[in-house]
Amino acid sequence: MEFIEIKNCYKIYKNGVTALADGNLTISKGEFVFLIGPTASGKSTLLKLLYREEKPNKGEVHVGNIDISKLRNSKVYKLRRKIGIVFQDFKLLPKLTVYENVAYPLESYGMRSKEIKDFVLKALERVGLKDKYRSYPHELSGGEQQRVCIARAIVNEPKLIICDEPTGNLDPDTSKEIMDVLVKINEELGTTIVMATHDKEIVNRLKKRVITIKNGVIVSDKKKGKYDNEADKNI
Amino acid sequence: MKLIRIFNRSIRDSFKSIFRNFSLSVASISCTVITLILVSLAILATENVTNMTEKIEHDLTMVVFVDSKASTEELKNIENELKAINNIDTITFRSKDEIKNNMSSENEAFKNIMDSWNEDENPLQSTYILKVKNIKEIKETAATIKNIDKVTLVKYGETMVDKMINTFDIIKKCCWVIVLALVLVTIFLITNTIKITIFSRRNEIGIMRLVGTSNSVIKLPYLFEGLLLGAFGSLIPILITIFGYTYFYEAMGGVIFSNLVELTKPSSIIFTTSLALFIIGAVVGMFASLRAVRKYLKI
């Protein structure tokens, strides 16, 4: 079985919107996958199915041999400990410092403080923020906050990182820096990365696998793909 | 080890978030302070009323008159039978000679008449003065005593006592209803303020879930935080109870209006009341906070 498998998956929201219709997808370990499509096409829903914020109405979602469509609410944390998530709006805890934000997941797993320190400093070093570990999120720029978010996502050394438009709020230069960090993590640690994005430049420059989704339907899946200009138009 | 670490970190985090969300913490603490002061006043008042009524009830005496012809043997018999009755607390015997001597020493006129009586002619009746344990059964007890041989009369101010028992009962019940109502209001108010405190942090809870924190580990610091807020909130009411009531007691000289109505001694109630306030504060705070968090754990 592949690392990620989505089989005949349907997701219809309560308001009648079909966010995913008969979705089939496999992603193997170590891949870097872009997920593109116009707004409201179902990119975010597909990602949410992967980290079990949403359950499919029909079909199966397997991540690392667990059928997460059957995972109970109170057991979801077991899945989330094995994946890292990077958000467009960072989702940092505003009252905690950079160090505390990155350490938070490990602390809540009950890890020893000394070990936590090693992991956190390693993660912060990887994203180039080691000297800002004492700052609070509001004291950092957008790019720096996003790097803290990435550090938090990789601190428990997950096999999969899910990014939901991580560069959506950032200028082109900062976006490039963030992508460099992510590509480095993918190449050096072999972490699988699934990233939803709107950014043509990034997709065209990196030449990775590109999956296009429109109106909840996966319309194309290309190795070394480019950002198709048609992808931005619904229908 | 792992559990102890999580436990310690939860306590540390709860202190941190109390200080980092200072204004909201102050809001919930002051709400707790105000309501618990009311609860404290109500408990103290109720304790006093209960004590006063019990004291008055306890002071009530029953007088048993014995036939003046009764022999020593028969008197002994009566005393044994009285002792056998469960509801009787103390028995004081006053012989007819004792009463005669008392009366003659009180009044010259009595003395002149009484001195003319000899031993057998004394028409006065020996009495037993009784105190009962349970005033509510006084009627039945009186009836039992009346059936004893040679007992002529049992007096305890029947109609007055009946009314008194009823009134006291109603007052006591009213007081406890007020205390209960205030405790309920306290629970409601504390629950709501803590809910608001946690509502402002629902995003935080969402993020914790997303980074893989289990529900019980998310709940733990909130549980301690609620407990701490409630406990802190009970401190001022406890101080007011201890020092305020002691001061009030001293200032009034231990009585209200006249020496008839004694206040309850501070030492016998302030500590139990304080303990009650602390427990109400801490437990209500804890459960309020747990209930509020549970709502945001369903992401």
Residue B182 and residue B288 in one domain: yes
Residue B51 and residue B169 in one domain: yes
* pTM assigned to the model: 0.73
Element (H, E) at A16: none
Residue B216 and residue B244 in one domain: yes
> Is residue B272 pLDDT above 60, yes or no?
yes
Mean pLDDT of B78-95: 82
Taking only the tens place, the pLDDT of each residue in A91-146 is 999 888 999 999 999 998 889 999 999 999 999 999 999 999 999 999 999 999 99
Mean pLDDT of B106-119: 77
What is the rounded distance in angstroms from the CA atom of residue B240 to the CA atom of residue A92? 43
Give the Cα-Cα-Cα angle A123, A128, A132 (nearest 5 degrees).
90
Mean pLDDT of B48-74: 81
Contact criterion met (CB < 8 Å) for A108 and B21: no
- How many structural domains comprise chain B? 2
Q: Are A202 and A167 in contact (CB under 8 A)?
A: yes
Taking only the tens place, the pLDDT of each residue in B137-193 is 888 888 888 888 778 888 887 777 778 878 888 988 898 898 899 888 888 888 888
Side-chain-facing half-sphere of B78: CA atoms under 13 Å: 27
What is the rounded distance in angstroms from the CA atom of residue A105 to the CA atom of residue A83? 11
Residue B85 and residue B150 in one domain: yes
What is the rounded distance in angstroms from the CA atom of residue B55 to the CA atom of residue B97? 32
What is the rounded distance in angstroms from the CA atom of residue A113 to the CA atom of residue A235? 53
Mean pLDDT of B57-83: 81
Residue A53 touches chain B, beta carbons under 8 Å? yes
Mean pLDDT of B71-82: 81
- The domain boundary residue, chosen from B131, B155, B179: B155
Distance from CA of B20 to the nearest CA of A (A): 7
- The domain boundary residue, chosen from B155, B174, B194: B155
> Is residue B276 pLDDT above 80, yes or no?
yes
Element (H, E) at A23: strand A18-27
Residue A230 touches chain B, beta carbons under 8 Å? no
Q: Are A199 and A219 in contact (CB under 8 A)?
A: no
Helix (H, G, I), strand (E, B) or coil at A206: helix
CA R_g for chain A: 17
What residue numbers bound the domain in which B116 lies? 61-155
Looking at the domain assignment, is residue B2 inside a domain? no
Residue B113 and residue B248 in one domain: no
Q: Are A207 and A32 in contact (CB under 8 A)?
A: no
Q: Are B244 and B266 in contact (CB under 8 A)?
A: no
Chunked into runs of 10 residues, chain A (235 residues) has average pLDDT values of 91 91 93 91 92 91 89 89 92 91 92 94 93 94 94 94 92 91 93 93 92 91 80 61
CATH of the domain at B130: 3.30.70.3040
What is the rounded distance in angstroms from the CA atom of residue B29 to the CA atom of residue B232? 7
Contact criterion met (CB < 8 Å) for A80 and B17: no
Contact criterion met (CB < 8 Å) for A85 and B215: no
Q: Which residue has the tokens 């934000």?
A: A101
Residue A176 touches chain B, beta carbons under 8 Å? no
DSSP state of A41: S
Residue B142 and residue B74 in one domain: yes
Percentage of chain A lying above the pLDDT 70 cut: 97
Residue B218 and residue B282 in one domain: yes
Pairing of strands A66-67, A58-63: antiparallel
Interface test with A, best of B203, B211, B218, B296 (most A CBs within 10 A): B211
- The domain boundary residue, chosen from B104, B134, B155: B155
Residue B79 and residue B147 in one domain: yes
Distance from CA of B173 to the nearest CA of A (A): 46
pLDDT, position A120: 96
Looking at the domain assignment, is residue B1 inside a domain? no
Interface test with B, best of A54, A109, A157 (most B CBs within 10 A): A109
Contact criterion met (CB < 8 Å) for B212 and A81: yes
B158-199 and B202-210 are packed helices; what angle lies between their axes, rounded to 10 degrees? 60
Residue B75 and residue B145 in one domain: yes
Residues of B in contact with A76 (CB under 8 A): 209
Residue B74 and residue B33 in one domain: no
Residue B68 and residue B113 in one domain: yes
Distances (CA, A) of B237 to A155, B19, B273, B278, B287: 47, 22, 10, 9, 20
Residue B45 and residue B186 in one domain: yes
Residue A85 touches chain B, beta carbons under 8 Å? yes
Distance from CA of B207 to the nearest CA of A (A): 6
**pLDDT band, very low/low/confident/very high, at B223 (cuts 50, 70, 90):** very high
